Amino acid sequence: MDKFNFLHLVSTIGIFMVLLLALFLITVKTKHRLSNWLLAFFLFTNAVDAIKFLTRDFPLNYINLEAFRWSIVYLVPASFYLYVLSVCYTNFRLKPKHVLHVIPFVAYNLYLMWGIYFVDRASKIHFINGIYEMPITQFFYFLFEFLFQVYFIAAFLVIRKSKTVYLENYTNPNISVLNALYKITILYYILHFIVLIRWLVTFIYGPGEIRAWIVTLDGFAFLFATCWYLFVALNNPEFFRGVNSELKPITEVIPKQKTSPLIVDEKNKEIEFLKNFMVEKEPYLDSSLTIQDLSEQVKMPVKDLSTLINLYMDKHFFDFVNEYRIEKAMEILKDPSQKELTVLEILYQVGFNSKSSFNTSFKKYTGKTPTDFRKQAL
């Protein structure tokens, strides 16, 4: 099997899997419909771009369609960025301002109208033969690269910010899925790096053996990325619930305050009150507890409570609450009268709703797994 046949095979499989996943995302009934549709569109644009791996020669009989396919890549990074926003923020909605993301796609198609869409066949071929030497074509290549970097850097920042907000305001976020989204972003960034190498080789050396091998690697990487994403999707069938986009990290809301003996004494009293409340009332047993819920119970403004925990106690709300849950779990695990309870039953009883989250927090707090701790305690 030569390189082209191998590339054709893996690309066909990859495109089929991507389109199948996109179809599933569009048709499945779920409350995360907007996220699924944006991801489906992103996958579809990647599949359209991957059609290039299926053709050995330029499709002269479908010049307009092939030219239009070139323009699809200007929608890829924007669609992924919007998808990240929709996953990270529960109140994200598409608005008229998001139409601005389509401008590069429209501009490139206007350029193709002048050189390809509305001219005769001979003029199309002449235009295509000299397209790489045209300054405006090089401008659009650089524009795409610039947009790609901007969108993916923005996606990384959104994920990092949402994770910070999650830890400061929620007690049971699915951090593993958030990390999976981060890895997916890195993976697609690596795939683009391979494409960038292919472009550079084409501009420097032109079509040849080196470029052919890079194209083969690109096609194989496309299949690998598709399989890996399906693996992630199967292991995390429902992405985490997201945060309110109006929430901000506490360091952005509260300016650094100068400490004084009076402020320290006041904050120490508030901390002591909060600790006593957590021990006596056990609000942490509610698996859906948020900082808004706790602020209502202790009758303290959310901003003040968040400042107290995140700045003065130097803990995320996530860690603050889970420490009490772990303490409660340790009591149960050490109690001989409750040895019949399974670890799964205990984690639900103390407020966790995820076995992986419980095991991670327990080991972080005690240095042992729940099972090992119980064996040593009993």
What is the C-alpha separation between 70 and 76, in angstroms, rounded?
11
- Looking at the structure, tell me whether residues 110 and 197 fall in a common domain: yes
The answer as to whether 365 is a domain residue is: yes
pLDDT digits (tens, 9 = 90+) for 222-275: 667 766 766 666 565 554 445 454 555 655 555 545 455 556 678 888 899 999
What confidence score (pLDDT) does residue 278 get?
93
User: Per 3-state DSSP, what percentage of the chain is helix, strand, and coil (rounded to 5)?
Assistant: 80, 0, 20
Q: How many angstroms separate the most distant Cα atoms in the chain? A: 88
pLDDT digits (tens, 9 = 90+) for 87-108: 888 788 999 999 999 999 999 9
Share of the chain above pLDDT 90, in %: 24
- Looking at the structure, tell me whether residues 120 and 152 fall in a common domain: yes
C-alpha distances out from residue 371 to 46, 341, 353, Å? 45, 12, 18
What confidence score (pLDDT) does residue 315 get?
85
- Looking at the structure, tell me whether residues 157 and 275 fall in a common domain: no
What confidence score (pLDDT) does residue 22 get?
83
Average pLDDT over residues 206-219: 65
pLDDT digits (tens, 9 = 90+) for 308-328: 888 888 888 888 999 999 999
- Looking at the structure, tell me whether residues 201 and 85 fall in a common domain: yes
The answer as to whether 116 is a domain residue is: yes
CB 301 within 8 A of CB 295: yes
- Looking at the structure, tell me whether residues 153 and 272 fall in a common domain: no
What confidence score (pLDDT) does residue 60 get?
79
Its domain, for residue 312, covers 250-377
Considering the entire predicted model, what is its pTM?
0.72
- Looking at the structure, tell me whether residues 171 and 280 fall in a common domain: no
Average pLDDT, rounded, for the chain: 81
* Phi-psi sector, 173: left (phi>0), alpha (psi -120 to 50), beta: beta
Contacts of 177 (CB under 8 A, 6+ apart): 236, 239, 240
Average pLDDT over residues 272-281: 92
- Looking at the structure, tell me whether residues 164 and 26 fall in a common domain: yes
What confidence score (pLDDT) does residue 220 get?
67
Among 176, 205, 235, residue at a domain's last position: 235
Average pLDDT over residues 57-67: 85
Share of the chain above pLDDT 70, in %: 79
What confidence score (pLDDT) does residue 258 get?
47
Phi, psi of 95 (to 5 degrees): -130, 165
pLDDT over 70 (residue 353): yes
The answer as to whether 179 is a domain residue is: yes
Q: Which of 100-114, 243-257, 325-339, 354-368 has the highest mean pLDDT?
A: 100-114
The answer as to whether 242 is a domain residue is: no
- Looking at the structure, tell me whether residues 227 and 310 fall in a common domain: no
Q: Around Cβ 64, how many Cβ atoms within 10 Å? A: 12
- Looking at the structure, tell me whether residues 81 and 120 fall in a common domain: yes
Looking up residue 283, the CATH number of its domain turns out to be 1.10.10.60
pLDDT digits (tens, 9 = 90+) for 147-177: 988 998 999 998 888 888 777 777 665 566 6
- Looking at the structure, tell me whether residues 207 and 284 fall in a common domain: no
Q: DSSP per residue over 256-304, as a string?
A: -----HHHHHHHHHHHHHHHHHHHHH-GGGSTT-BHHHHHHHHT--HHH
Average pLDDT over residues 57-77: 88
Average pLDDT over residues 176-184: 73
The answer as to whether 16 is a domain residue is: yes
Looking up residue 86, the CATH number of its domain turns out to be 1.20.1070
What confidence score (pLDDT) does residue 78 get?
94
Query: Domain tally for the chain?
Result: 2
What confidence score (pLDDT) does residue 240 get?
41
